[in-house]
Amino acid sequence: MFNAAVALGCPARELAASFDTVTICLSKGLGAPVGSVLCGSSEVIREAHRARKLLGGGMRQAGVIAAGGLHALDHHMARLEEDHRHAKRLAEGIAELPGLFCAQASPPANGAWTNLVYFTVDGRATGRPELDASGLVDRLRSRGVLVHALGAHGERIRMVTHLGITAADIDTTLKHLRSCLNGT
């Protein structure tokens, strides 16, 4: 939700206003070691606490974990925009490679880039018709680039930029994509 709020230039509160509850992961884009936050009315939170106890959930001495989440909220919100810039650069670089199609390479209609990049692979366009998304995922993984194939037949690839991804990582990823497509 925070990535969407930053991309759209509106407060997270505004995005959440239509919902009774919102769950926010603090460990993904915000870089907390672990943790999620459930947001809602006092009544909803009270009921969630009760249900959690009935199901045996809960943690003792969770202050250290909470501290990591608070740090992430205080210090990493402003840098989400950097993830979006990295994703834009990655999408544009992918679109320049033969055999890869990334619709996100052109600016979105609302101008709102986020940290997610999706693309497809057409091995015929690279002169290697046997190359598909799952094959490219395997090749990239062997080079230390972790990506994920999506779809019923793994035809799309998803890449995510986050706190741990630097501009140099984007360059390295594009270099590895080029070499995988060239068969080197």
pLDDT for res 44: 95
Name which CATH class applies to 80-182: alpha beta
Average pLDDT value for residue range 61-82: 91
The per-residue pLDDT for 108 is 66
Q: What is the pLDDT, as a whole number, of residue 69?
A: 92
Q: Indicate the domain borders of the chain.
A: 2-75, 80-182
Q: Taking the model in full, what pTM does it have?
A: 0.85
pLDDT band at 110 (very low <50, low <70, confident <90, very high): low
CA dist 88 to 8, 106, 118, Å? 15, 9, 11
**Positive or negative torsion for Cα 31, 94, 156, 12:** positive
What's the CA gap between 119 and 77, in Å, rounded?
Answer: 27
87-107 pLDDT, tens digit each: 999 999 999 999 999 977 776
Report pLDDT digits (tens) over 131-161: 889 899 999 999 999 998 998 777 889 999 9
Give the pLDDT band of residue 61 (cuts 50, 70, 90).
Answer: confident
In tens, the pLDDT along 1-46 reads 899 899 888 999 999 999 999 999 898 789 998 888 999 999 999 9
Query: Cα 67 vs. chain centroid, distance in angstroms?
Result: 23
